[in-house]
Amino acid sequence: MKKTRGFIGIFSIMLAVLLVFGVYVLSCSTSPDNRTGRVEDGIYIGIVRFAETSEDITDGTPVLLDRDGRTNLSQIIDTRIRPTENPGTALFHSVHMAMANMKRNESSFPQNLDSVYIITFTDGLDNQSAGLSRLSANRVEDRMFDNDIGYARYIEEELVNRRIAGVPITAYSVGIKGDDVTDDGSFERHLQSISSSGNFQVLDDFSDLQNSFNVIADNLNLHSTRTNFVLTTPLLVNTRIRITFDEDVRTSADVMASTRYIEGTVVSPAENTYALIDVTYGSGISSSQREGPLPGLIDGTKVSFVFNNVAGYDPYVDRVNTNLWRLSEGNWQHDIEYSSEGSFFTTTETHSTVIYLVLDCSRSLSSEQNENIRRAAVDFINSIYTRYYGF
C-alpha cells in the first residue's frame, strides 16, 4: 500500500512538471518576440484585387518587403492580377477589406509602425459593394449597407477616424475612366470617397499610371533625416552664452535683436561634469531637447553639447553665419575663437510602414490595360524596396 501511494505521488509530481513545462512552451510561442512581424521592422505590403467581388491575394496578411518578399509579391501580381469574366465593380467593398485586414493584423505589425497607406486603382464606378454586404459570405466586419452611397460614406468616415495600431490611414486613389463610365461626376466622387483629402487623381491614359504610382511612392514617409547641432565651448563656468545663426550679427545690439539663436547657461555641477541649463530659442529655431538640461561631453579643454532634431537650422547655409557670444556685465561679447567646424551631423531613421494595394481587375479592362496595371504595381513595389533599403 505504501508503494502504491509512493508511485502515485511520483506520478503526480511528473504530471505537474509536464504541465508547467507545457504552459511555459505555450507562453514562449505566443510572446511578442516570437510573433511574425514583431521581430523585424520594415515595409509590409498587402494586395486586394476586385471586380464583381474582392479578394485579398496576399491571404489576408501583408508580406514583409525583404528580398524574398519582393519576389513573392511580384509573382502574386503577375499571376493573380487578371481581368475577371464576370460583371461588377466592388470598389468600396475592396477598400473596406484592406482596412479590415490591416486592423485584424495590427497586433503583429512592428512596434515602431509609423505610417499606413491604402492605394487604390479603378477604371469604373462601384455597382456591387452594397449587394455584397447583403451576403453573409461576402460581408466585411459584419457591416451591411442598403446602397452604395451609404457604403461610400462609411468608407470616407473610416479613412478619417480608423487607426491601425494607433496610426492614421493615408489613402490614395487613381482612376482612369473606362468605356462604361458615363457619369464623370460620380466617377470623381467615388475616387474621393476612397482617398484622404486631396489624394485622388483622374488620369487620361494608362501610360500615365506608372508615373502616378511613382509620385505616390515619392510621397510615402519611409525615412526621416534629422539634423543635430553640436555646440562646443571652452570650459566656462556659470556663464550665459548665445549661439546665433543670423547673417551680419556683429554687435551686442545685433545679438539682442536676433530671432535665430540658441541660448543657455554653462554650469559645472560637480567635478568633471558639465551641463547646459535654462535653454531658450529664438522664434525660428527649436530642438527636441527643449529647455534642457543637456549633458556636456568633455574633450580636453573643450566641452560639447548636442541638440538633437534641430528645426529651423540649415547646416549647409547657416554654418558660415554661426557665432558664439558670452554675456558679460550686461553685454554680449563675441568669441572670435569659436569654430563651426563639426557643428552638426545628420541621422537617418527608417520607418516601418504598412501598404495595401487595391487593384481593379474588372472585365471592362483589356489585356493591354491589365498589363499596364501589373507593370505599374510591380514597379511600385520595386521602387519602394529600393527607397527603403537603398539598393
The pLDDT of residue 39: 55
- Nearest partner of 52 among 128, 110, 139, 156, judged by Cα: 128
The three grid cell numbers given for residue 113, joined into one nine-digit string: 509602425
334 three-state secondary structure = strand
Number of CB atoms found within 10 A of residue 327's CB: 16
174: in domain: yes
Question: Are both 305 and 259 inside the same structural domain?
Answer: yes
For 177-226, what is each residue's pLDDT tens digit? 887 788 889 999 999 999 999 899 999 888 889 888 988 888 887 766 77
178: in domain: yes
- Distance, in Å, from the CA atom of 132 to the CA atom of 129, rounded to the nearest integer, reads 5
16: in domain: no
> Is residue 121 within 8 Å of 369, Cβ to Cβ?
no
Question: Are both 211 and 106 inside the same structural domain?
Answer: yes
Tally helices (H) and strands (E) across the chain.
10, 18
Residue 280 belongs to domain spanning: 226-348
- Whether cis (ω within 30° of 0) applies to the bond prior to 234 is no
Single-letter amino acid, residue 380: F
Question: Are both 207 and 241 inside the same structural domain?
Answer: no
Question: Are both 307 and 331 inside the same structural domain?
Answer: yes
Question: Are both 100 and 198 inside the same structural domain?
Answer: yes
Question: Are both 203 and 263 inside the same structural domain?
Answer: no
State the alpha helices, DSSP H only, in the chain: 2-29, 67-80, 91-104, 129-133, 148-161, 184-193, 209-219, 252-257, 315-318, 367-389
Question: Are both 248 and 264 inside the same structural domain?
Answer: yes
Question: Are both 166 and 258 inside the same structural domain?
Answer: no
Single-letter amino acid, residue 343: S
Number of folded domains in the chain?
A: 2
Question: Are both 78 and 190 inside the same structural domain?
Answer: yes
Instruction: Return the CATH number at 58.
Output: 3.40.50
245 three-state secondary structure = coil
83: in domain: yes
Q: What are the beta bridge partners of residue 261?
A: 244
For 298-320, what is each residue's pLDDT tens digit? 999 999 999 988 888 887 788 88
113: in domain: yes
- Nearest partner of 284 among 257, 248, 324, 264, judged by Cα: 257
Distances (CA, A) of 201 to 154, 156, 213, 303, 364: 21, 16, 11, 54, 20
> Is residue 85 within 8 Å of 361, Cβ to Cβ?
no
Question: Are both 264 and 179 inside the same structural domain?
Answer: no
269: in domain: yes
Question: Are both 59 and 161 inside the same structural domain?
Answer: yes
- Nearest partner of 123 among 36, 45, 204, 57, judged by Cα: 204
- Kindly give the parts of the chain with pLDDT less than 50: 1-38
pTM of the complete model beyond 0.85: no
- Distance, in Å, from the CA atom of 264 to the CA atom of 240, rounded to the nearest integer, reads 6
193: in domain: yes
Q: Which residue has the cell 525583404?
A: 66
Question: Are both 380 and 338 inside the same structural domain?
Answer: no
The pLDDT of residue 252: 92
Q: Which residue has the cell 556659470?
A: 238
Distances (CA, A) of 329 to 232, 273, 326, 355: 22, 26, 10, 59
